[in-house]
Structure 1
Amino acid sequence: MRLKIVSASGIALVLAVWCAVTYTGMVGSLFLPTPTAVLQEAVKEIQSGVFFSDIEVSFYRITIGFVFATAFALPIGVLMGTSKTWKAFWEPLVGFIRYMPVVAFIPMSILWFGTSDMQKFFIIFLGVFFQEVIMIADNCKRVKRSVVEVGMTLGLNRLEVIKDIVVRAAMPSIWDTLRTVWGWAWTYLVVAELVAATSGLGFRIMQAQRYLSTETIILGILTIGVLGLITDLIFGLLGKFFFPWMEKEKIN
């Protein structure tokens, strides 16, 4: 309970500062709108149907892009973490591409896919896949050698050791990796929507910038933050449900 109060106090402090600098006129509304102005903009967008439509479009894009990236990153990352041959093949390639700025690929992605959802999927995939592979490989490398040796002693073949021991032992860490990467995916989605989109939260922010509608910009930013926080909490709750023993280890 005490920690929840501490967490709430942090949010309350930021809100109090926001109110103080805007309602007193210390900062002009053009640079930072009041909470009331943002709330009124939210009501207007909800009544027009734009608000939830943008959320639905953006959430659909990030979900599909994230699922595609994870579907490929999970097996490759596991094999990199358990096979020196796979590591030797993939590590130079992944290490090279993951340092390339994803934003630089946006012009090419528009040329290849236009402004369709496929372009958003591609940017999300490119942004999170290579980082995800490296992190999942590290998760598998951290599995204790003694646990693997027990499986080999019991007569399990290599595939069974990877599937039934390494992956299961690493799953709590892999879940934390997915939780982290999900947050990164939001960043790349917004970048893609800012440049090449006709709908979505990023598009709404960019459109508002053209008309100096700062209350719409702040509303979009806050909406993304709230969605990210909610989904992060869901990831955390599901982690506790799927891997309850990890919570006991943390307490001990």
Structure 2
Amino acid sequence: MHSSTPAASAAPAAPQSPRRRRALAPLEPVGARARWLLGVGFFVLFVAVWGFFTLGGFVSPTFLASPVTMVKEAVLLFTEFNFGHDIGMTVWRVFGGFVLATIVAVPLGIAMGTWKSVEAFFEPFVSFCRYLPASAFIPLLILWAGIGETQKLLVIFIGSVFQITLMVAVTVGSARRDLVEAAYTLGANSRGIVLRVLIPGAAPGIAETLRLVLGWAWTYVIVAELIGSSSGIGHMITDSQALLNTGQIIFGIIVIGVIGLISDFAFKALNRRLFAWSTI
């Protein structure tokens, strides 16, 4: 009779597939399909947990509406309260103030990143203003510009312009010195260095900066619309808060997130198309 030890009788463990090991490896990229499935999966899980606590009666509807109630309130907003107009006004304010900030901030940031004397002159003031909350300017802006569209555009402008300026200056100032020296060796003058080396090299980083700050602009517009406004998503949220209508409040917040996400994807697609050679 032959006896076998447990080690001899145990079947060898199946080796883990290289693909599975790589999928769990740090910094390993995820495929486009898996990324979409994971992203959508989180939203599904979030709504499921939200529905469990609200529809199950664990949370009072006064404090948190259920997903079903939110959908009903969303239909009511579009059919009876002209919410499409509010969305259009908010989008206009965001992009209007953001474009104004971009027109001022990008040239100034390029100048600060290119010439150190310009940076020394502007940087202390720009850094100081960068820490001032845009909402703190609302009382002054109401006094100066009233409660119309100019005041709301200026809130977004103030909240965006200083951030863009410094980030663009850092991007331009971090240009590779070897490229600049090579351009000088090939006979380029100072103007040529700026137009043919610094700006083209910094363009992908500048575009990425604008994409990031556009997301911040959405937070500023809601603050601007909470005070002295008769239209916009922020105005709707304020009115709903007075009526304790959490369904409309939640839907307004979701609409902001969806529009911001769409604009972010559009910005990414445009950047990839314009700067296909960049790694950003």
Question: TM-score, normalized by length of structure 2?
Answer: 0.86
Task: Measure, in 2, the Cα distance between the counterparts of 1:37 and 1:196.
Answer: 29
Q: Report the CA distance between 1:173 and its aligned residue.
A: 0.8
| Residue deviations 1:186-228 (CA, integer Å, cap 9, x gap) | 1011000011211000011011111111111111100000000
The aligned counterpart of 2:110 is 78
Structure 1 residue 49 displacement after superposition? 5.7
Cα distance, 1:150 vs structure 2: 2.0
Q: Which of 262, 266, 272 is matched with 1:230 structurally?
A: 262
Moved more, 72-81 or 12-21: 12-21
Report the CA distance between 1:165 and its aligned residue: 1.3
Residues 1:61 and 2:93 aligned together: yes
SS at match of 1:143: coil
Q: Does 1:160 align with 2:160?
A: no
- CA–CA distance in structure 1, aligned partners of residues 76 and 271 of structure 2: 37
Q: Which residue of 1 aligns with 2:251?
A: 219
Counterpart for residue 131 of structure 2? 99
Letter aligned with residue 129 of structure 2: I
Counterpart CA distance in 2 for 1:160 and 1:68 is 27
Q: Matched residues in 2 for 1:49 and 1:194: separation?
A: 18
Asked if residue 149 in structure 1 is aligned to residue 181 in structure 2, the reply is yes
| Match 2:276 to one of 220, 244, 249 | 244
Shift in Å, 1:2: 1.3
The CA distance in 1 between the partners of 2:117 and 2:175, in whole Å, is 19
Between the two proteins, the alignment pairs up a number of residues equal to 248
**Matched residue, 2:77:** 45
Out of 96, 116, 127, which is 2:159 matched to?
Answer: 127
Deviation >4 Å, runs of 4+: none
Matched residue SS, 2:147: coil
Shift of 1:153: 1.9
Note the aligned Cα RMSD (angstroms): 1.1
Match of 2:42 in 1: 10
- Which residue number corresponds to residue 15 of structure 2? none
Amino acid paired to 1:134 = L
Q: Give SS of 2:188's match.
A: coil
Q: Quick one: distance in 2 between partners of 1:93 and 1:15?
A: 45
SS of the residue corresponding to residue 196 of structure 1 reads coil
- Could you tell me how far apart the structure 1 residues matched to 2:48 and 2:97 are? 37
Counterpart AA for 2:210? L
Cα deviation per residue 1:127-167 (whole Å; 9 max; x = unaligned)? 01011100000111222111122222222221221122111
Which residue in 1 is equivalent to 2:30?
A: none
Offset at 1:114? Answer: 0.9
Higher helix share goes to which structure?
1
Q: Which runs of 5+ in 2 are unaligned?
A: 1-32
Of 121, 126, 148, the match for 1:89: 121
Deviation at 1:10, TM superposition (A): 1.3
Is the radius of gyration larger for structure 1 or structure 2?
2
For the residues of structure 1 that align with 2:207 and 2:225, how far apart are their CA atoms? 27
Q: 1:82-119 CA deviation, whole Å, 9 max, x = no partner? A: 10111011001101111122211111111111111100
